[in-house]
Structure 1
């Protein structure tokens, strides 16, 4: 498959005239003709898909500004331009960027730390050495671009680099942050604060930093304004100090209860003045328990509930309790960090109870900022795969790129020739590692997919073919709300009469007709989910009921 120039004797693919291209849109006298509405829509659809994919990779902050010029990869960070001929991927750039960030004061701090025995080095340089050793073990010098499974030490190192980049690119990287990171006594708190800042930027918040050099009055770490709702929040980030972890040789707790400092840290956060709503982040800093529900979550919820009942109602905050404990397992891979969200004196957020699906939908919509923050925490560190948000298969290996819906290509016609056709639809079968491509001539083609291409699809199923497609959505069988939310999204643009026609067998027709459109959609989708649950239960009943055996006498 290849993208061809349009054959001038072919039927014009740009309009519906039926004429040859050379006598239609390809004629020199028609080159000035404005694009058709369909062409404009196609380009717009591709733009939306590209932007969605970029946001999935880079978050909702300022786009990564980069370009390739004369063999140099150029990246603009805030008002500073960096370049190198050795950067092939964003990870390459981040590895260089963090070194430049720590050299801002003119000191070669990293080299000084590397001279120390490994156990005495700053954690950042321990992580750096782990990265170097992993690259030496796994990378093939003959290949320009390779993928490897990162250890948690690498996640810590590149995650910190990305957070520093996000801060400088979207707000400002104050020198005080670098100074505090280098200071082993202040490192842990600053490291977590930057992690929180990075998550907020990715979640779509504009940060406003405080003057960290002014110690005359107390203030929160920074403020954050949601791009979704426009609300302003004051942010406080606290991490539990543990003796012997992240350089805490003194002033670290020896308690084995990860929630031992939770109440103290939240109370300290409330003592900071805040003119608007609060976001409080507390990290329990404990080893990660893979594959099980962490025991600290239940204890944290109980403590938060008790604190809430013991404090005045005017102390309100969205509280996020996290365990970003990658550093506890530096040489392991794929450990699962965890987080919970709690509405402190916010009665309709995160409170246990029995709710209709439509009620959950309304509550999520009301508290969408907190939900978007939780999504960013779950995805951490979410390093971008490419500089411009493209699929790696397109950015790094165009021969392997998937077809773009709406584009015209030359396909093998099976007879040694080339068949020109426009891709109208495409789907992927992951088990088969194949894609099925529908063409405007009615034919369906199939194409094998490499492991790399399958990975691209798994990362971006909804934009894999260049436009946004509602495919690749996966729900657990009992995820009724996830399915409901997707159904609401799919049906929100339905014509009202169409919905009412589908619900004509429902009771109280006059009441249905009086409902606002969104309420009608939610009610209809609740009915869909209820029907699916009935079918699921019936199927399970049939599976669990042993077949009846007829006797010979019958």
Structure 2
């Protein structure tokens, strides 16, 4: 997909989402229709759509009311109830003027915690490729760090700053464009970059959970879906009838080799085999495992949506690879978060601080248990990788 098509599709998708969730004010529509105000309005639509997809309700502010200053949106997370004042700022001109954007955004009146989105609007494509982070985001981070310590910046309120890098509109004929985003906690000491223990990372994420949930949603929805019913891209327009769904009736070889009709109960995809290992049940109640060949379309669909390939949610199939200690913590937390305190303490009985752990709540004990298990797991993974490297050719 070229930059031109990508930018067009993204704007259409964002506008669709906003139109179907809130009444878009006439002022915003008028701004979209005028070339001079279109870029800023387009970014406001993108920000609003991202918030809506993250489960927020939006209240658009009446910016024609001159009696006081207004932020662009009031966003309320439906799950947590957290409410934020939201500003969307876009870089214009040759230089990125973070100071001016931050001052204008944070000088407005609000009774709620603040989120400031900043579109870096940077066209330096080659400086964004093959790097850990696009140069525009690196520069934004440096400017935010300096402005936080600036005499004027020190007078401004706290804010979650989300800087985004989406260069599609500047490279209409390019493909495989890089993108990225940066979270900066303006006047949030615990969000500043630096080494943190795993326990500190877990506690920080919990303190700011609505923001991290928003970032996770933005990452999840960074690509425009081909359909609105969750159908995998690979199946779009396909005449294939071989898609496997739990509860589906199949005709397969039985244990004695005779073809019989069975009901699919569960399955696991093995990409290297180009097949699915399926648990099926015959009409007489017998269960057995069969291998069902998969097409290239099936394998592409599985790669896109592994957790729901068989029509039900399989969290193990959709689980991401453990790359960090925080990933390992999340993996262990899912199975241990509701374990009784007494059982957790029994598992921790050899800990030198057992008496202190016993004085904590179940939630706190579960957290410390999962942190320690995650650290041990990552240590074993690192040791295994080191040994493999030494023994390799």
Q: 2:154 aligns with which of 295, 312, 322?
A: 312
Residue 391 of structure 1, CA deviation? 5.0
Q: 1:329 aligns with which of 171, 175, 189?
A: 171
Matches within 5 A, 1:53-452: 150-214=1-65, 217-241=68-92, 253-255=93-95, 260-287=96-123, 288=125, 289-292=128-131, 293-310=133-150, 311-312=153-154, 315-348=157-190, 350-391=191-232, 393=235, 399-404=241-246, 407=247, 409-413=249-253, 415-423=257-265, 425-440=266-281, 441-452=286-297
Distance 1:428 1:499, change over 3 A: farther
Partner of residue 487, structure 1 = 332
CA RMSD, 1 decimal: 2.6
Distance 1:545 1:179, change over 3 A: closer
Name the CA distance, whole Å, in 2 between partners of 1:234 and 1:312.
Answer: 19
Distance 1:491 1:394, change over 3 A: farther
Partner of residue 321, structure 2 = 475
1:517 matches 2:362: yes
Q: TM-score, normalised by structure 1?
A: 0.63
Distance 1:537 1:158, change over 3 A: closer
Greater CA drift, 410-419 or 224-233: 410-419
* Structure of higher RCO (CA pairs closer than 8 Å, 6+ residues apart): 1
Report Cα offsets for 1:89-122 as digits up to 9, x if no partner.
xxxxxxxxxxxxxxxxxxxxxxxxxxxxxxxxxx
CA contact (8 A) 1:428 1:434 kept: yes
Partner of 2:76: helix, strand, or coil? strand
Partner of residue 311, structure 2 = 466
Distance 1:294 1:420, change over 3 A: closer
Work out the number of aligned pairs and report it: 378
Name the CA distance, whole Å, in 1 between partners of 2:359 and 2:30.
Answer: 62
Name the CA distance, whole Å, in 1 between partners of 2:89 and 2:225.
Answer: 27
Gaps of 5+ in 2: none
Partner of 2:215: helix, strand, or coil? helix
Name the CA distance, whole Å, in 2 between partners of 1:420 and 1:498.
Answer: 42
Distance 1:455 1:408, change over 3 A: closer
Partner of 2:290: helix, strand, or coil? strand
CA contact (8 A) 2:276 2:293 kept: yes
CA contact (8 A) 2:264 2:278 kept: no
Distance 1:545 1:160, change over 3 A: closer
Q: TM-score, normalised by structure 2?
A: 0.86
Tell which structure's C-alpha radius of gyration is larger: 1
Q: 2:383 aligns with which of 538, 541, 546?
A: 538
Name the CA distance, whole Å, in 2 between partners of 1:254 and 1:343.
Answer: 25
Name the CA distance, whole Å, in 1 between partners of 2:228 and 2:118.
Answer: 32
Residue 276 of structure 1, CA deviation? 1.4
